[in-house]
Amino acid sequence: MYESYYRFVKSPFRLVADPSMLFVSESAREGLTRLEYAVRDGKGIVVMTGEVGTGKTTLVNRCLDEARGDVRTAYLFNPSLSGAQLLRALADELHCQVQGESKLELTRALYDDLLRHRQAGRRTVLFVDEAQVLSPEALEELRLLTNLETRHEKLLHIVLVAQPELLALLESHSLRQLRQRVELFIHLGPLTREETGQYIAHRLNMANPGRPVAFTSEAALVIHRLTRGVPRDINKICDASLLIAFVEETGTVTTKHVREAMRTVDAREMGLRLRGTRPSGPWQRLWVGAGAVVGIGAVVFATYMGTRPARSNVGRSPSLAGIASAASAEQPTPQTMQPSTQGMQPAANAKILVHLASYQERREAEDFARSLKLPPGRRLYLQSALSHGREWTRVLVGDFTDAAEAGEFARDGLAKRDYAYAQAVRVPANGLEIWESP
């Protein structure tokens, strides 16, 4: 719909791994450089990891498109195969003629094919996408394929593209031989705050709009905060935001459009995955679950017993509060925050408030506070808090006459998706500062 209005040549935020739309972030640039080095230097096995939606497949497609004439590539995107099926799929990808279907015949045919092409000056690179779901049998078959070599070099170079779960799998005792064959690890991280704005502008420019369209810097900041820089989720929010801007017939996408867009995407699922607490194994899942129970218990106790939660569990993003007992251990150690009094007034008396978000950086908390639009009669507060030896800045809204009123406000805000997190708390005046936007 909006594509015609803005006269885009192609959809700027379609959820496909289009290499022509690749934004080369610092992380992507490093990944491309390392992949090029791995091929040029003849590495046997390379592992490239990244969280869901960080652009791994797009990066692989760029490598496939830009492979030089002396590099022959194969790409397997359905790794749910047995060992023998994987060999068959590889032979088909390489257009290798095989007489027979046994593993011995497949392996021999692959060896002859790889050797012939190497003697002709061509290296063969195999990309295996979604490698974290490979069976141990298939992983072992890949290890054995690296035995196809001459006295001087490997004949097949393998790039395993996977979510971080593969790293834990490689640490298992049964796969220790495969782990020892990995010569290079590459990790594709999310976009930084600055890169998120550049990414949005890049995608719009590549779509070649026929009429002016842009996201404001404040909108890009909110998008980064909501997505934590994951390109797939940036695309989802930007797509929905453009649709809302199109309805209003405007070429400027603002924070209002972004907030409206969040109601059309799966904000809860996004928050659960992007808060940085997704466990990678059973013990991590156990601790996250325990942390959630402790966090919820502390807040409920604080709300109804009139006490401040000691060392409250707070997190990095609006959707993190209450379960960061596990997540905070993964965050980098912050600098000690010095509470600023600029634009602040000391609050008096204990108050019943609603906790909306917590940040390690006070600047991020202030940015979040500026982006909020509250109903008449409500006031924002900032408060320093300590959790697991780390300083955080909490963003709270008030004032409420009792816990029931605060609870109703929190439930209403969550139901309307005005907030990704909201929880009623009773907060003493100590350290509580009234937020006044400069």
**294: how many CB neighbours lie within 10 A of its CB?**
14
Half-sphere exposure of 185 (CA within 13 A, CB side): 11
Tokens of 211: 């009429």
Evaluate whether 358 touches 394 at the Cβ level (below 8 Å). Answer: yes
Highest average pLDDT, of 35-44, 58-67, 285-294, comes from 58-67
- Tally of CB atoms within 10 A around 324: 29
Please state, rounded to an integer, the average pLDDT across all residues of the chain.
78
Joined together, the tokens standing for residue 339 give: 């509470």
Terminal-to-terminal C-alpha distance of the chain: 39
Give residue-wise pLDDT tens across range 163-172: 999 988 888 8
Q: Work out the percent of the chain whose per-residue pLDDT is above 70.
A: 78
**∠ CA 134-140-144 to the nearest 5 degrees?**
130
Q: Is the pLDDT of residue 428 over 80?
A: no
List the one residue out of 124, 125, 91, 120 whose CA is nearest residue 105.
91
Asked if residue 373 has pLDDT above 90, the reply is no
230 vs 55: CA distance, rounded Å: 8
The dihedral formed by the CA atoms of 102, 104, 110 and 115, expressed in degrees to the nearest 10: -160
Mean pLDDT of 244-260: 92
Q: Does residue 337 have a pLDDT over 60?
A: no
- Of the pLDDT bands very low, low, confident and very high (cuts 50, 70, 90), residue 264 is confident
User: Considering only CA atoms, which of 306, 407, 403 is closest in space to residue 350?
Assistant: 306
Residue 435 pLDDT greater than 80, yes or no: yes
Q: Higher model confidence: residue 289 or residue 322?
A: 289
Min mean pLDDT across 14-18, 71-75, 362-366 is at: 362-366
Q: How far apart are CA 240 and CA 417, in angstroms?
A: 15
DSSP 132: G
Residue 429, pLDDT > 50, answer yes
Q: What is the pLDDT of residue 432?
A: 81
pLDDT of residue 150: 85
pLDDT confidence bin for 173, thresholds 50/70/90: confident
Which of 32, 184, 175, 158 is CA-nearest to residue 90? 158
d(CA 407, CA 395): 16
pLDDT at position 389, please? 57
| 195 vs 316: which has the higher pLDDT | 195
- Distances 362 to 347, 359, 367, 383, 403 between C-alpha atoms, Å: 18, 7, 9, 10, 27
Q: What is the reported pLDDT for 310? A: 33
Among 260, 261, 375, 365, smallest CA distance to 321 is for 365
* Tokens 């070599």 belong to residue: 149
Between these two residues, 291 and 192, which has the higher pLDDT value? 192
Mean pLDDT, residues 237-250:
92
- φ, ψ (nearest 5 deg) of residue 309: -65, 120
Look at residues 312, 298, 299 and name the one whose alpha carbon lies nearest to residue 431: 312
pLDDT of residue 29: 92
So what's the pLDDT on residue 339?
A: 33
Beta bridge partners of residue 71, listed in sequence order: 123
Q: Any idea what DSSP says for residue 107?
A: H
Residue 336 pLDDT exceeds 70: no
Please write the tens of the pLDDT for every residue from 80-93.
778 788 888 898 89
- pLDDT: which is higher, 218 or 384: 218
Mean pLDDT, rounded, for 418-437: 76
Number of neighbours of residue 387 by Cβ within 10 angstroms: 21
* pLDDT, position 302: 43
**Of 43-47, 115-119, 302-306, 388-392, which range is least confident?**
302-306
Which H or E element spans position 423?
Answer: strand 423-427
Report pLDDT for 68: 82
Q: What is the pLDDT of residue 283?
A: 38
Would you call 325 helix, strand, or coil by DSSP? helix
Average pLDDT over residues 288-311: 41
Q: Read off the pLDDT of each residue in 283-303 and give the average, rounded to a whole number.
A: 41
Query: How many helices and strands, by DSSP H and E, does the chain display?
Result: 17, 13
Give the model confidence (pLDDT) of 93-150 as tens digits: 999 888 877 888 888 999 999 999 999 999 999 999 999 988 888 888 888 898 888 8
Q: What is the pLDDT of residue 220?
A: 95
Type of residue found at 427: V
